[in-house]
Structures are given as C-alpha cells and as structure tokens.
C-alpha cells in the first residue's frame, strides 16, 4: 500500500514538473534586466497625501480616465462600454453614450467632440449629442488590439497609443510577462483621416500628453518603467528620447495641466518578484503556467507624481493604506482640483490641489523647498 502511494506521489510530481517545464504557452518572453527599483525615499518618500481623495461614484467599474467639456461637466467611461457625465460639482452622474466596447482614454477636441481610445473598437469620436463614430482601427495594415490613451494637439492632430499589437486588454498580464516591444505610438490627422505610426518599440504603450508649447509629446512605456518623449518640432523633430526613467511603479496615464506640470499616474508599485524574473524568460513561462493567484498581481496602492517640463519630479502624492483610492490610472488637473481615473474603483477620485507654497516637503523635490 505504501509503495503504491509512493508511486502515485512520484508520478504526480513528474507530471507537475513536466507541466511547469514543457506545457505550451502563448507568450514568447524576452530577457530584460530592469534597473534596481528606487526606494520610497527622497523624491519618492512615502506619504499619505492622497488619503484626502473623495470618491464620485458611478454605476459601473474601472473608469480609467476623466475629461471635461466646455461647461466643466465631468466624463468617464466604465468596463461595460458606457460613458458617464457628471455635473461640474461632481453630482448626478448620467449615461452620456455607449461605445459598446471598452473606453479608456478620453479627451475633448476643439469642436467639442469627445475623442475616445476604446480598447476593443479603436479610435472613436462622440458628438455632443452622444453619437459615436469610428475614426481609426489600424495602421500600416496592423489592427489595433488595445487602443489605450490619447491627447489632442493645438493643430487638431490626435496622438494616441495601441498598447499591444499582439494582446487585447483582457490579456494585459501576458504582455507584461512577455516583455516584448508590442506597443505603438500613433498620430491621426482629422483632415486627411490618415493614421501614422510614430514609434513601434514600446513596452505596453500607454498614457499620452502633448507639451503646452506643442514642441513634444510624452508617451508612457509602462512595462519599461519610463516615459518617452517624441519631438514634434525643433532640431530633434521626429526623434525620441527618455523623459524620465526607472520609475518606482508602472506609469499608466499622463496629462498636462497646460502650463508647467505633467501629472503621472503610477497604477501600481514595482513588483520585486516580477523584476527578479524579467532577466529569465524560461522562468516567466513557468510562472505563466501557475494559477493566477500565484502570479504577480496588482496591489492596492495610490501613487501620483508631478513632473516639470524637463522630467524632474516636483510633487509626490501617495496613499499606502488598504482603503486608498486604488490603482490610479490617470490624473487630470482642472480648476484647482485633481481628478483621478482608476481601474480598481467604481468611482472617479477628486482632491483639492494645494498651492506649492502650502505643500509639505514630502510632496516636493529638494530644490522646491528652498
């Protein structure tokens, strides 16, 4: 009897090892050695400043972005394709439109149309009466798999991202574990109705923000923990470089306040286990074969940074508490408040933005406290 049980146990172990080592997986991981994650000290010192965030609830989940029309009404999407509109004071959310997809990035163009990066459908425009039309679904013959975020330049050009040309939004973890440059940064010209690919080599291409002077546009390279800058004019026109590198979390959305600051949402802190696995493709294949609860997963943490026009951190807002407004996916400054989109809440967040002169040192880099 004991020998039979031993044989069964050994057979089970062999089968388990064979599964972990040999079972086919859909991902093709590439080796990458990330820089050592910065500690939450200095410019990233831990604080609880985002604990002041209030929730403006919707009858839905995961409103990733926030946008404002000319009447200061507040818009957000949800995971069922619906777009909600609040009154300027944050009350009375009502259904504005339904893309029948998954609206992520939102921004109004100069004609009052709500431009939507819909992860399932593509780049869309929704008129003031709530009627939607599709602007673009592919570029260079490659269909969008996860249209993600966007911004509109002063000349009307829509800059946006396709997070992954390989995986849809529902397979986000596959793209992260694979760590291949599947993401693209694109530009749509509303006059010619043509879409151009500006960058091909992004690791889960995400947030987009045009600079106030229109000389460059930022795009978040989420799985590489950095923000890239693409030059629109000047001697580097058409070239790109790194705006800020080795962030302490995964950059998601980014927006300009139109003057002197880019607001950057870190949707999650860096994961030590994932960083350890990134240089080892075979190990990531094994992890993919494990149950989801044994894989790296999102954790509750609120993290927002403000960057100046040169990519320096000028404000640092966090909330590590279990009840934090979690997984902030976008930050938009509007008339003295910060508004937060989220992929972990059934609400958008709102917090009064204090003037720099009233901020504690934890929110400022050293040069701003002198």
In the predicted model, is pLDDT for residue 358 greater than 70?
A: no
pLDDT band at 1 (very low <50, low <70, confident <90, very high): low
In the predicted model, is pLDDT for residue 111 greater than 70?
A: yes
In the predicted model, is pLDDT for residue 332 greater than 50?
A: yes
- Give the residue-averaged pLDDT of 264-289: 95
- Give the residue-averaged pLDDT of 215-227: 98
Question: Six-digit token pair at 281?
Answer: 């493709």
In the predicted model, is pLDDT for residue 6 greater than 80?
A: no
In the predicted model, is pLDDT for residue 173 greater than 90?
A: yes
**Domain limits of the chain?**
2-368
The pLDDT score that the predictor gives to residue 294 is 82
* HEC profile of 88-117: CCCCCCEEEEECCCCEEEEEECCCCCEEEE
- Give the residue-averaged pLDDT of 115-143: 98
Residue labelled with tokens 């980014």: 254
What's the CA angle centered on 266, arms 290 and 84, to 5 degrees?
95
In the predicted model, is pLDDT for residue 33 greater than 80?
A: yes
Rounded to whole angstroms, the Cα distance separating 356 from 365 reads 11
Rounded to whole angstroms, the Cα distance separating 106 from 97 reads 13
The pLDDT score that the predictor gives to residue 367 is 41
- Give the residue-averaged pLDDT of 129-146: 97
The pLDDT score that the predictor gives to residue 370 is 30
Residue labelled with tokens 């009858």: 59
Residues with Cβ within 8 Å of 294's Cβ and at least 6 positions away in sequence, in order, are 287
The sign of the torsion formed by the CA atoms of 162, 165, 171, 176 equals negative
- Give the residue-averaged pLDDT of 123-146: 98
In the predicted model, is pLDDT for residue 190 greater than 60?
A: yes
Phi, then psi, of 315 in degrees rounded to 5? -145, 150
Residue labelled with tokens 């946008």: 67
The sign of the torsion formed by the CA atoms of 266, 267, 273, 278 equals negative
The pLDDT score that the predictor gives to residue 295 is 83
In the predicted model, is pLDDT for residue 130 greater than 90?
A: yes
Give the closest residue to 173 by CA, choosing from 298, 279, 299. 298
Rounded to whole angstroms, the Cα distance separating 187 from 39 reads 36
The pLDDT score that the predictor gives to residue 17 is 57
Residues with Cβ within 8 Å of 267's Cβ and at least 6 positions away in sequence, in order, are 249, 250, 251, 252, 298, 303, 327, 328, 329, 343
The pLDDT score that the predictor gives to residue 21 is 56
Second-level CATH architecture of 2-368: 6 Propeller (2.120)
Residue labelled with tokens 């093709």: 28
Residues 41-92: pLDDT tens digits?
999 999 999 999 999 999 999 999 999 999 999 999 999 999 999 999 999 9
pLDDT band at 166 (very low <50, low <70, confident <90, very high): very high
SS3 170: helix
Average pLDDT of the chain is 93
pTM of the model: 0.93
The pLDDT score that the predictor gives to residue 369 is 37
pLDDT band at 18 (very low <50, low <70, confident <90, very high): low
Q: 61 exposed, middle or buried (CB, 10 Å; 0-12, 13-18, 19+)?
A: middle
Residues 275-287: pLDDT tens digits?
999 999 999 999 9
The pLDDT score that the predictor gives to residue 296 is 85
The pLDDT score that the predictor gives to residue 231 is 98
Pick 71 or 362 by higher pLDDT.
Answer: 71
- Give the residue-averaged pLDDT of 301-322: 98
Question: Strands 67-68 and 122-126: what pairing?
Answer: unpaired
């Amino acid at each position: 009897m004991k020998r039979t049980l031993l044989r069964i146990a050994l057979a089970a172990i062999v089968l388990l090892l064979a599964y972990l080592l040999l079972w086919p997986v859909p991902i093709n991981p590439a080796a990458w050695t990330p820089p050592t994650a910065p500690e939450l000290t200095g410019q990233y010192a831990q604080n609880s400043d985002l604990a002041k965030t209030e929730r403006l609830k919707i009858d839905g989940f995961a409103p990733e972005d926030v946008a404002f029309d000319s009447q200061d009404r507040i818009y957000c999407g949800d995971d069922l394709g619906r777009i909600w509109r609040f009154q300027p004071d944050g009350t009375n959310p009502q259904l504005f439109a339904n893309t029948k997809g998954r609206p992520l990035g939102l921004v109004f163009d100069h004609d009052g149309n709500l431009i939507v990066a819909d992860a399932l459908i593509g780049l869309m425009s929704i008129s003031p009466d709530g009627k939607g039309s599709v602007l673009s679904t592919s570029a260079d013959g490659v269909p969008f798999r996860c249209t993600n975020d966007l911004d509109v330049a002063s000349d009307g050009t829509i800059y946006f991202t396709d997070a992954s040309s390989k995986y849809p939004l529902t397979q986000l973890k596959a793209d992260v574990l694979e760590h291949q440059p599947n993401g693209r940064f694109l530009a749509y010209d509303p006059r010619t109705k043509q879409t151009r690919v500006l960058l091909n080599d992004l690791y889960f291409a995400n947030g987009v923000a045009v600079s106030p002077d229109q000389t460059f546009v930022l795009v978040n390279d989420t799985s590489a923990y950095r923000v890239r800058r693409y030059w629109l004019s000047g001697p580097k026109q058409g070239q790109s470089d790194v705006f800020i590198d080795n962030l302490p979390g995964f950059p998601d959305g980014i927006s300009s306040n139109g003057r002197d600051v880019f607001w950057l949402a870190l949707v999650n802190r860096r994961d030590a286990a994932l960083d350890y696995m990134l240089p080892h493709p075979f190990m990531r294949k094994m992890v993919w074969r494990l149950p989801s609860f044994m894989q790296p997963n999102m954790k509750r943490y609120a993290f927002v940074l403000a960057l100046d026009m040169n990519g320096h951190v000028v404000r640092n807002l966090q909330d590590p508490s279990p009840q934090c407004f979690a997984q902030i996916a976008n930050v938009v400054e509007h008339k003295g408040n910060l508004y937060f989109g989220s992929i972990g809440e059934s609400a958008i967040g709102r917090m009064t933005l204090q003037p720099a002169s009233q901020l504690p040192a934890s929110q400022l880099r050293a040069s701003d406290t002198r």
